[in-house]
Amino acid sequence: MTLFVGGDTGRWLVVSMSVVRGNALPFAPRLSIIEDESSVGDTGASTDARWTLRGVRSYVRYVERREKSLLDRLSPPLGRREATRAALIPIRKSAAWWDLPQDERRAIFEERSRHIADSMKYLPAIARRLHHSRDLGEPFDFLTWFEFAPEHAGVFEELVGMLRGTEEWRFVEREVDVRVAAA
Amino acid sequence: MTLFVGGDTGRWLVVSMSVVRGNALPFAPRLSIIEDESSVGDTGASTDARWTLRGVRSYVRYVERREKSLLDRLSPPLGRREATRAALIPIRKSAAWWDLPQDERRAIFEERSRHIADSMKYLPAIARRLHHSRDLGEPFDFLTWFEFAPEHAGVFEELVGMLRGTEEWRFVEREVDVRVAAA
């Protein structure tokens, strides 16, 4: 499990926190990321945390073989030396989304919104890791972490703007956008 | 979240516990089922529990629209007065399964193993509820709970036998079969 903790300490300095939709999160000056190998039930939050968001890396829900091959080849790793800017974007989707059967969610996600296909061109610049939170009973369904170099900040805006304009995003009922820089 | 607790108390009397594959669970004379609305981090196990297995009801991962319509129409509810026999079958699938992309898991699950299509004829007799555990860091990936009347015990054996013979089941690396009766 991965914990994203907003508080007074942490490697990442919070540059901005914006509410895109729904309720905000309290502002925190720093962000730390904790990889916790203990089971879900054992994990406590830091005492000075303004908020703690939990997620797990998990298996893919929509990606198909031909897409996986491309993603595996094109996705840069996290932790590149030049990637001193990052973003944590927690989102929650609506009950209407989760009630859809698999084929209809896939059709909206990819055939109509082209989430994978249209994100592909940003991959050499933007590193990305998805964490699943829904089954943990967390306030958000997904926590996506992005890392990029300062010169790719504009490219990153283009990526999030593109996603927010899709049909898929009509099902997003809460979204917060936390931008950070290596401290 | 739903907790299945094997211990000294509970509505269900354990009739048998069989290991189908992998490690066993310790024998417990009774089974209780607890619906817990608190968040994952807050949930503790009962003190007298031999084991506690946790899962969440979640969105469908493979079911498509036409299948969902049939399932919704044909699935009996839990808690039928005549359904005094039940089974809890926890399974874990292999890393090879979880590494497959969505289209290949779906093809094995349904196009080749006919998990949904071939289970359909058992639905009027057998009530079923799936709980997801994998993202919780639990020892099993799924906890399936079945309820049926004593006269359908043979039909239930046919259902589990059918599933265990499928290509999908080659990816099951741990399975325990807990049979219970209303006490």
pLDDT tens digits along B117-159: 999 999 999 999 999 999 999 999 999 999 999 999 999 999 9
ipTM at complex level: 0.91
CB pairs under 8 A between A and B: 75
Which residues in chain A touch residue B56, judged by CB atoms under 8 angstroms apart?
135, 137
Q: Cβ of B95: how many Cβ atoms within 10 Å?
A: 9
d(CA B121, CA A119): 42
Which residues in chain A touch residue B61, judged by CB atoms under 8 angstroms apart?
61, 102
Alpha helices in B33-152 (DSSP H): 65-74, 95-99, 102-106, 115-119
Interface membership of B164 toward A (CB under 8 Å): no
Name the average pLDDT for chain A.
94
Domain spanning A2-10+58-182: which CATH class is it, in words?
A: alpha beta
- Tell me the DSSP string of A58-88: ---SS--HHHHHHHHHHPPPTT-TT--EEEE
Average pLDDT of span B168-172: 98
* A61/B61 Cβ within 8 A: yes
Domain layout of chain A by residue ranges: 2-10+58-182
Question: Which of helix, strand or coil describes residue B176?
Answer: strand
Does residue B38 carry a pLDDT above 70? Answer: no
Q: Cβ of A164: how many Cβ atoms within 10 Å?
A: 14
The upper half-sphere exposure of residue B28, i.e. CA atoms within 13 Å in the direction of its Cβ, equals 27
- Residue in B70, B71, B4 with CA at minimum distance from that of residue B36: B4
Interface membership of A103 toward B (CB under 8 Å): yes
The strand pairing partners of A7, in sequence order, are A30
Residue A155 one-letter amino acid: V
The fold of the B2-36+51-182 domain, in CATH, is Alpha-Beta Plaits (3.30.70)
pLDDT per position as a tens digit, B72-112: 999 999 999 999 999 999 999 999 999 999 999 999 999 99
The strand pairing partners of A130, in sequence order, are A144
Which residues in chain A touch residue B134, judged by CB atoms under 8 angstroms apart?
58-59
Interface list for B 39-58 with A (CB within 8 A): 39-41, 43-44, 54, 56, 58
